[in-house]
Amino acid sequence: MTGEARAAVLGRVRDALGDARGSEVAVPRDYRRHDEAGHEAVVDRFAERVSEYRATVFRAAGDDLATTLAEACRECGAQRLAVPRDLPDQWRPEGIELVADEGMSPKELDAMDGALTGCALAIAETGTIVLDGGAAQGRRALTLVPDYHLCVVRAESIVGQVPEAIEALGDAIHAGRAVTFVSGPSATSDIELIRVEGVHGPRTLHVVIAA
């Protein structure tokens, strides 16, 4: 019966398409594709929106980045973090043990206090961090398994709108790299509308906006 139902549905789709199959469909592009606000306003909006998702936001300027990262770690008691192999030297907080991910197992990642990574870009309108497996990001497991994610977001990488982000991610998408959109700590309310955090990702998210 399942096969018959599938065939019936696909047959109706084919009948509905008629001669239109394979023809190019014009996609309306009258939505807002770029943010007209100044970049400082865009950065401020991102900080506001991502904090609304219960993420903790820190600001760091220049040489203060490593100090700010250490402060973020102390706030949640993290002393041992997994990091991508290409983590920049200036991102290494004093007093925190950093362990390069050389293919750690899920069990080994879960035993870490958290993970420290960068990101591809961030979206102000939705308070979203985007990971594409590029520089200073590591593999997806690095940011999904540990209970704490400390993420460095370069201020210049923050865009205003989702279409701007999609356009900027073109190279990663064409290369077939996995792209992950992160809006706050992992949370679900699937069971009786009770919010539970940390089910399918980090329970705690700290974002450091680096000027």
85: CATH: 3.40.50.10420
Check: CB of residue 131 under 8 Å from CB of residue 117.
Answer: yes
pLDDT of 22 reads 64
pLDDT of 100 reads 98
Whether the pLDDT of residue 1 is over 60: the answer is: no
Task: Give the other-Cβ count within 10 Å of 202's Cβ.
Answer: 24
How far is residue 126's CA from residue 203's CA, in Å, rounded to a whole number? Answer: 19
Residue 3 placed within a domain: no
Give tens-digit pLDDT for 53-87.
999 999 999 889 999 999 999 999 999 999 999 99
Residue 115 placed within a domain: yes
Give tens-digit pLDDT for 23-55.
677 888 888 888 999 999 999 999 999 999 999
Residue 8 placed within a domain: no
Check: CB of residue 84 under 8 Å from CB of residue 120.
Answer: no
pLDDT of 4 reads 86
pLDDT of 68 reads 98
Check: CB of residue 122 under 8 Å from CB of residue 130.
Answer: yes
Residue 87 placed within a domain: yes
Residue 71 placed within a domain: yes
Per the DSSP assignment, residues forming a β-bridge with 81 are 98, 114
Give tens-digit pLDDT for 80-118.
999 999 999 999 999 999 999 999 999 999 999 999 999
User: How many folded domains does the chain comprise?
Assistant: 1
Residue 136 placed within a domain: yes
Give tens-digit pLDDT for 160-206.
999 999 999 999 999 999 999 999 888 777 777 777 777 778 999 99
3-state secondary structure the chain: CHHHHHHHHHHHHHHHHHHHCCCCCCCCCCCCCCCCCCHHHHHHHHHHHHHHCCCEEEEECHHHHHHHHHHHHHHHCCCEEEECCCCCHHHCCCCCEEEECCCCCHHHHHCCCEEEECCCEEECCCCEEEECCCCCCCCHHHHHCCCEEEEEEEHHHEECCHHHHHHHCHHHHHCCCCCEEECCCCEECCCCCCCEECCCCCCEEEEEEEC
pLDDT of 86 reads 98
Burial class (CB in 10 A: 0-12, 13-18, 19+), 152: buried
Which residue has 């594709």 as its token pair? 33
Which residue has 């239109």 as its token pair? 20
CA-wise closest residue to 80 among 95, 66, 64, 90: 95
Residue 156 placed within a domain: yes
Residue 100 placed within a domain: yes
Give tens-digit pLDDT for 123-166.
999 999 999 999 999 999 999 999 999 999 999 999 999 999 99
Domain that holds residue 156: 36-210
- Residue 14 is encoded by which pair of tokens? 């084919």
